[in-house]
A and B are shown apart, each in its own frame.
Chain A
Amino acid sequence: MKKTAVRTSALFVAFAFLLSACTQTNSGPAPTTTTNPSPTAGSSNAIPIGIALALTSNVALLGQEGVAGAKIAEKYFNDKGGIDGTPIKLVIQDTGGEEAGAINAFQTLITQSQVVGIVGPTLSQQAFSADPIAERAKVPVLGASNTAKGIPEIGDYVARVSAPVAIVAPNSVKAALKINPNIKKVAVFYAQNDAFSKSETGTFQETVKEQGLDVVTVQKFQTTDTDFQTQATNAINLKPDLIIISGLATDGGNLVRQLRELGYKNIIIGGNGFNTSSIFTVCKALCDGVLVAQAYSPDHVNEINKTFRTTYLNQYKKEPPQFSAQAFAAVQVYVEALQALDKKSEISKLPLAQLRTELNKQLLAGKYDTPLGEIAFTPVGDVIQKDFYVAQLKVDKDGNNGKFAFLK
């Protein structure tokens, strides 16, 4: 009689397992379809590329931008004939904002959807968690928005197209000095609960010191904060000539707005988190003049960016944000590496494991002309990007139309 409870619980465990097993069989061999299938996506021999980004949770916005870029890439390259006639097919899995969600998405993509490679995940913290899974399974991963230190070092199969902050950040400080050579006092703000902002601010502060400038205060905030009155007045009291903000678009934009409303008139530099047009919806007209160093500029002159930008503009009625461009570039790297590989040995004949390994080697070796400009990879898998940009936000008076204007 004592066994009843144990037996029952064992039954429940079995039931739970069964539940997941059933759903797996239900989904059958047909792998996940994208939510926006391209014309050729139905064909069974399409090459699956995994997209593991956040579509839900509080980082959903970033993930949604990435997915938009990747989908444009899918259509663009399939329209151009795919890989020697074989189309690619994006398999999109939501990672949510959690580490576990990223791992689950990776697992599903690797074993169930049998993808050749993965683009993602959204957050660096998620990458630290999920990338080792791909590494162990020997599946290439391209980070499209992971900029924290140490990501490519996770393993041989991990690379990224998102330039790490250390490279991008200094450009904007130089641009600011070009606009106002008399800058002396600098106030620095950063979001201390955001891994990316935290490492970015380090780079900013080093750059400021290298330029012989004086950091008068470092103010911390959280990405979930909304009110910055205290930090802002603290900084303004010290009369800085330049304020550098490392944060995400919403909190950063809010901070800009409150700084301006409280009477700060000098130059503001925004970090990489400002690289999205959603910044305009936060600070509207008050964003005007903010400098942002970019890994991407919609104004970049090359053929592929022109097409990308036009497509994006047509579809979403606004300039493509950096995360979309980076996701596009990541898909492009896969496509072009697959094409190159296909020329050496027909990829449809390669077993999946070998294809993944070969693909990883190939993609690290190649050079790509992407909407980001020309990129290549270091042996460890970090991106080598030729062009960086400093843009100044230009917003019209009523705050409804904003764009990133290129500084050169």
Chain B
Amino acid sequence: MTLSEALASEFPTYRAFFMKPPIPLLEIKELYVNYGGIQALQNIDLTVNAGEVVTLIGANGAGKSTTLRAISRLINPRSGQIVYQGRDITRRPAHEVVQLGIAHSPEGRRVLARQTVLDNLELGAYTRSNLAAVRADLDRQFEIFPRLAERRLQLAGTLSGGEQQMLAIARALMSRPKLLLLDEPSLGLAPAIVLEIFSIIRDLRATGVTILLVEQNAKLALERADRGYILEAGRITLTGQASNLLNDDLVRKAYLG
């Protein structure tokens, strides 16, 4: 890692002012993933720049979650490259990727149902050793998600769906990620809570966290994102500024009902 890269990764301002063009935070090149006998992803090229919110739109089974799972290294690509902050992480083990600053709030929330809310959050900061900073972040999460504060000693499995989703996001934030992968944060949630969660996403963006968002609710996602990619049957069929996609006829027809 060069000095400028290091500076860029540590100080977003440095990157913003001194480095042009901005190096992408995450770059996926010609990614292919096979699931069993099926080609789940084919020739995916995708870029996420620092500070952006990028969303992936597509039908069930189109490969959105698979893309996130490939980035957080839960699955092995057949070929292609995943480059994060200029380094190739295509073959790194999942837990090292977390240390590099990528957090993944997975599909279906996957909170640790048998542990308390507090334990879940503390495990979110597993990779960090500065206990004081972790404590401060913990308080911050409870500020953002006051419902979690109320239930801090409750087992995560007993939370409602919306609360679990909040816990999943808060837990991901506990690792102080540079890149947050959010998989269907609105899944199964009441509209009011969905809006709440999306306002949190907006707040997060303001703090400089880069977000790659997978969302079923295409409209909401595109409204909140800078850019978007449309996935169909494992391929990227369309990409562009979110506002342009929102107004695209084909997209409207297929995903915005």
* A adjacent to B, CB under 8 Å: no
- Name A residues whose Cβ lies closer than 8 Å to a Cβ of B: none
Which of B's residues lie within 8 Å of A, judged by CB?
none
